Amino acid sequence: MFKKSYNYFNSEQGRRVVQIEAKSGNLQIITADFDESLCDWDSLSEKELIDKALEWQYRTYMQGKFVNEAVEITEAKAKEVTAMAEKLKDTVKESEAELAKIKERAEISQGSILEMTEMMYDHEARIAALESGDEKVDEPIEEDKEHIDTEVTIEGGE
């Protein structure tokens, strides 16, 4: 039922390999390859060989499977995190654009407030001049002279 053979040298791993097979009739139950240097395979009983074969199969196949699953899960999480990072970058860009709009509106509002404040001071100055009976009320304040539209009409003609 249980057979071991020293049939090849594994050049990839650079070691001599013992191959153990357990068969039941035509059905092959287990095949495992062992490093020859791990122990004296000839001195092991059949039960110990089966235990070693099952342990080795678990290590090579099951642990490899668990590692593969862990790698797949990690890669999926990495893709998920990358997608989230891209979404966050887009959100930051949108926020920066919105912030720029708000700053522009604030500058416009601030300019309007300054203009209104100047107009109020000018108006208050005119009212104060009227109340004091100052004769220069009809004349514009020095700052406003440059903003006055002058109409020029030419009378007569050729």
Distances in Å between the alpha carbon of 26 and those of 22, 47, 157?
11, 21, 128
Residue type, 52: K
CA nearest to 55, candidates 27, 21, 32, 29: 32
Alpha-carbon distance of 27 to 36, in angstroms, equals 26
Eight-state DSSP code of residue 152: -
Closest alpha carbon to 2 in 31, 39, 37: 31
Q: Given a cut of 70, is residue 100 above it in pLDDT?
A: yes
Tell me the range of 3-12, 44-53, 56-65, 107-116 where mean pLDDT is highest.
107-116
**pLDDT tens sequence across 103-153:** 888 887 877 888 888 888 888 888 888 888 765 555 555 655 555 555 555
Asked if residue 10 lies in contact with residue 17, where contact means CB atoms within 8 angstroms, the answer is yes
Query: Is pLDDT above 70 for 71?
Result: yes
What ranges do the domains of the chain cover? 43-140
Locate 147 and state its tokens.
């903003």
Going across the sheet that includes 2-10, the strands are 2-10, 15-24, 27-35
Q: Which pLDDT value is given to residue 96? A: 93
Identify which of 25, 8, 27 has the alpha carbon closest to the alpha carbon of residue 17.
8
